[in-house]
Structure 1
Amino acid sequence: MFSFLGTYSLFFLISFMFLVLFLWIKQILFHPMTKKNIPPSPRKLPIIGNLHQLGSSPHRSLQTLSQKHGPLMLMHLGSVPVLVASSAEAAREIMKTHDLAFASRPKMSIPDTLLYGSKDITFSPYGEYWRQVKSIAVVHLLNTTQVQSFRQIREKEMALTISKIENCCGLVIDLSEFLVGLTNNIICTVALGRTYSGIKFKDLLDRFMNVLGVFSFGNYIPRLSWIDRLSGLEDQARKVAEDFDEFLEGVVEEHISKKRGVHAKSDEDQDLVDILLDVQKDNLTGFSLQRDTIKAIILDIFAAGTDTTFTSLEWAISELIRHPRVMKKLQHEVTEIAQGKSMIDEKDLEKMHFLKATIKETLRLHTPIPLLIPRESTQDVKLMGYDIPTGTQVLINASAIGRDPTLWDEPDIFRPERFLNNTIDYKGFHFELLPFGAGRRGCPGIQFGMIVNELALANVVYKFNLALPNGVKGKDLDMSETSGITVHKKSPLIVMATPRF
């Protein structure tokens, strides 16, 4: 019996070896092995990968690493492979040539919690749902006609802000507070129908943006997800989501009640919530628009619009204070075009070429979201000679591209003149300047936000001379940055405003 079992085992072993040999020969003959050509990578550590190399300012750290490893660099944040693109050429390949392959978003726990399972436009994965919600935003909310229809709201809020600053002339003021109040009031009125002010509302928005920008260990190192619970991040995200949902539920219910009432709004007076409710009621798109989707879209437009618009304005005025020559040149332009009017209106903005150049230069030097919202590959891609597998996260370092010395002469110098007689724009067609991304996942609300930027900057520099208090020179203004999804000026802009006329 033992002899029989031994013979049988030997026969099985030989048969198994022949099978392995056959499969190996078949693999060689019909599937020749090709060595994957992966992008250069900095050395990583066990478990955490390259997380330790991100530092307190990830976009700056990644820019430094790219100078050593190249414009396409493969990193590992925990167990997740992350491709970092730091050149205009690499960005063009990702967001234009292979845009469809990189059009999705990775699943991330904090946006999921804050935005109803990522049902918004920014964080939802690529697919039919995303196409529908983006189409609703572009066709019904953010088209040129709709943006222009809110002109009176922008100009009214601008006049109120100018009046508030005039009342404080000769005093030291926190200009950042005035700017965030202006952008908040405009976007609240446009999106929600009226302004919502006060410490409670501002605190809610601040908490939302702060939590959204916090690094979540669970997304990159699942075995360390307990850190997110222990640190309180998960609880903070849940509480912010609950508080914002309660607020937005109240807004939506208020709009529904008004639509049922005898004093229903005319088409001209509709805000974005009204428009979304009409789309839902009339089923204009053939897409079932759920209540959570309405709230997610509004929250997306509201939070992104307020935060990026305000921070761009704050950086622009800070740079103008540091560069008196540029300030005088801009003031000369706006004064000449205003021709003695009390306020600059939106019709004047098209003639202000130096104003537009100043804003472009600000976006180049101070990209509001320096690392664009992560993308994720949905198929294997050959990118600039490298093999990029499915499931790779992609970060576009828009800040590094904006300061690339091969693209920009003296890239760290604030010089708006570089954009005069220059066709480069920020709308996603020129990959040297990408503050709002490009391709399918480019920001659909560029026009919505930038007209506020232009109107506010033109009127502030037209009406006031701005100086730092206590005789501090402009060149000594603190320009250090915060960390987070949006990069703000770390310290508020404290100035003394005096009337120019």
Structure 2
Amino acid sequence: MELLHLLKYCLLCLVLTVTILRFLLPPKPPEAAAKLPPGPTRLPIIGNIHNLGAKPHRSLADLSKKHGPLMSMKLGRITTIVASSPAVAREILQKHDRILSNRHTVLSMKVLDLHKFSMPLLPAEAKWRNLRKVCNSYLFTPQKFDSYRELRRERVLELLEDVRLAASQRPGEAVDIRRAAFRATLNSLSSSILSLNLGDVERSETAREFQEHVSGIMEEVGKPNLGDYFPVMGKMDLQGIQKRMKGHLENVLNLFQWVIDERVRKIKSDELYVSPNDMLHTLLAIGDDGEGTAAMDPLCIKHLLWDMFVAGTHTTSSSLEWAMAELLRHPDNLAKVKEELDKNVGKGNHLHESDISRLPYLQAIVKETLRLRPVSPLLVPRKASEDVEIRGFIVPKGAQILVNIWAIGRDPVVWENPDSFMPERFLGSMIDVRGKDFELLPFGGGRRICPGMSLGLRMLHMMLGSLVHWFEWKLPDGVVPEKLDMEEQLGMALHKFKPLLAIPREDGKISYKKD
């Protein structure tokens, strides 16, 4: 082991020497550098890596106040352009969307060639266009969502039952909101996608292992990797991130392959088989339609399953946790939404998806949470496919592009009291989260907008509204609302650093029943 570590350090020294020599070569002409947007002073070798800190979205927001809403940096060897205003975001995501819609992919997402199959990571070319059409035409249509409505409602009822049992059997004991939300979200997704329950870790070893590997993937992707900043180090994997990522990813993809193989076997066998109405069956049934949609092979299907699970679980559960935390910090807002639910849903009645349109304050709370705590504060990094001019500056070909929607959501030019939780700002407002209003872009915009946005919003409104409607909530003893820890941690998603613990008490004014 000592020899192995020595070899790694020798290789690292060699790489650093080569890197230093490259910096000693004659620099680019000053005219070319002057065309880049302004930015902070760069240090030799590392460039501006030291400016990122542990919370890059906050550090970049602070830097943009000095250097402007279009800023350039050098992260190791990677030229990076940062957008921090609605106007600049519009230029990137709308005006120049075609040129700036490819992906800058980190090394952990290249493990097992994930970047060659995963829809969010593919370049905006034929394979990606086919997957987008499959999602928009077959998976994420209003008709398909409606067909899973009752299934989603059952998963929300299971969440309520879990919390109710905790409240009755262990009165006064706090519930981990993140864990409960993650389980409910995973149950809903796995049921509608695979007709399986991957959230029940108490009864299923498969579910336990699946959650363990998905959490491991999230952890590895969220770690800073030297190879992302210095490509020459990439294959060395000095931090072991790619190796661990490969192990987790192989297990997840192998599970999906097994599920696909079993489904195909049942479909082809002579045994009586009633196909479940799930997304996997839809994917297997897709054939060449003569209008540009190609049939889905098992390799593409299992990677699309990966995309849907990763994009749909941690994002929705994190948003729910942030929303509950904000409501517990602001009891007046919590009382207002409970009053709205009592009035429009009715005591003793369960919330239905059809009720959401009649709950403007609940919708406002979701929007305000996504403004203040976007789960992907820098969106998925984009990459310029050619030079493009924006506001008199050049975004060079190959540059990484970050859209800091966290900074945009707290821009004092756009938002009054931007750091305050004020759902009322959205009452009567036409600003929405669906990518058309560049002041609020939690799901991105342009052709790379999240295709599962509508499904995530349905689940978020249903779970949040049901938890608030059904229970009285309070913080554990000794925790006052004003002092609730709201520290955040940025990994693959923006999480609350300390899980939210809250004590439920079943509202005595209503009785638990499944209507």
TM norm structure 2: 0.87
Equivalent of 1:333 in 319, 327, 340: 340
How far apart are residue 398 of structure 1 and its match? 0.6
**Counterpart in 2 of 1:174?**
176
Aligned counterparts of 2:326 and 2:272: Cα–Cα separation in 1? 47
Q: CA deviation at 1:36?
A: 5.2
Q: Corresponding residue for 2:397?
A: 390
User: Which of 137, 140, 145 in structure 2 is aligned with 1:139?
Assistant: 137
1:233 aligns with 2:241: yes
CA distance in 2, matches of 1:383, 1:265: 55
- Residue 97 of structure 1 aligns with which residue? 95
User: What does 1:246-325 align with in structure 2 at a 5 Å threshold?
Assistant: 246-261=254-269, 262-266=271-275, 269-279=276-286, 285-325=292-332
Secondary structure at 1:74 match in 2: strand
Residue of structure 1 equivalent to 2:470: 463
Instruction: Give the aligned residue type for 1:310.
Output: S
| Aligned-partner SS, 1:472 | coil
Structure 2: distance between partners of 1:375 and 1:263: 48
Residue identity (%): 34
Q: What's the counterpart of residue 159 of structure 1? A: 157
Which residue of 2 is the match for residue 9 of structure 1?
A: none
Counterpart residue type for residue 56 of structure 2: P
| CA deviation after TM superposition for structure 1 residue 291, in Å | 1.9
| Aligned residue number for residue 22 of structure 2 | none
Q: Which amino acid aligns with 1:70?
A: G
**Which segment is superposed worse, 327-336 or 462-471?**
462-471
Partner deviation per Cα, 1:350-399 (whole Å, 9 max, x = no partner): 10000000000000000010011001111211101212221111000010
Return the alpha-carbon distance in structure 1 between the equivalents of residues 258 and 287 of structure 2.
18
**Mapping 1:351-390, distance limit 5 Å:** 351-390=358-397
Match of residue 121 from structure 1: 119
Please say which of residues 332-341 and 274-283 is displaced more in the overlay. Answer: 274-283
Query: Aligned AA for 2:248?
Result: V
Larger Rg: 1
Q: Retained in 2: the 8 A contact 1:370–1:399?
A: yes
2:219 matches 1:210: yes
Distance verdict in 2 for CA 1:474–1:111, change over 3 Å: same
Moved beyond 4 Å, runs of 4+: 33-36, 280-286
Any stretches of 5+ residues in structure 1 without a counterpart? 1-32
* Code of the aligned partner of 2:300: T
Deviation at 1:121, TM superposition (A): 1.4
Q: How far 1:215 sits from its partner (Å)? A: 2.5
- Distance, in Å, in 2 between the alignment partners of 1:65 and 1:35 is 19
Counterpart Cα distance in 1 of 2:105 and 2:375? 23
Q: Judge conservation of contact 1:95–1:438 (CA < 8 Å) in 2.
A: yes
Select between 475-484 and 105-114 the one with higher mean Cα deviation: 105-114
Note closer, same or farther for the CA distance 1:281–1:99 as it changes in structure 2 (3 Å cut): closer
Q: Does the CA contact (< 8 Å) of 2:134 and 2:293 recur in 1?
A: no
Conservation of the 8 A alpha-carbon contact between 2:36 and 2:393: yes
Name the counterpart of 1:8.
Answer: none
Distance 2:63 2:166 in 1: 46
Secondary structure in 1 aligned to 2:402?
strand
User: What is the CA–CA distance in structure 1 between the aligned matches of 2:292 and 2:258, rounded to whole Å?
Assistant: 25
**Aligned twin of 1:430:** 437
Q: How far does residue 289 in structure 1 lie from its aligned partner after superposition?
A: 2.6
The amino acid across from 1:194 in the alignment is L
Equivalent-residue separation in structure 2 for 1:332 and 1:172 (angstroms): 24
2:75 is aligned to 77
CA contact (8 A) 2:381 2:401 kept: yes
Look up the equivalent residue of 1:193 and give its one-letter code: S
Q: Aligned AA for 2:180?
A: F
Q: How many residues align?
A: 466
Unaligned runs of 5+ in 2: 1-30, 202-207, 510-515
- Determine whether 1:245 maps to 2:253: yes
With 361-370 and 132-141 compared, the bigger mean Cα shift is at 132-141
What's 1:112 paired with?
110
Match of 1:223 in 2: 232
Cα deviation per residue 1:419-469 (whole Å; 9 max; x = unaligned)?
A: 000000010000000100000111111101110000001110000111111
Normalised TM-score (structure 1): 0.90
Secondary structure at the counterpart of residue 350 of structure 1: helix
Amino acid of the structure 2 residue aligned with 1:241: L
Is 1:416 matched up with 2:423? yes
| Range that drifts further, 476-485 or 308-317 | 476-485
Name the counterpart of 1:55.
53
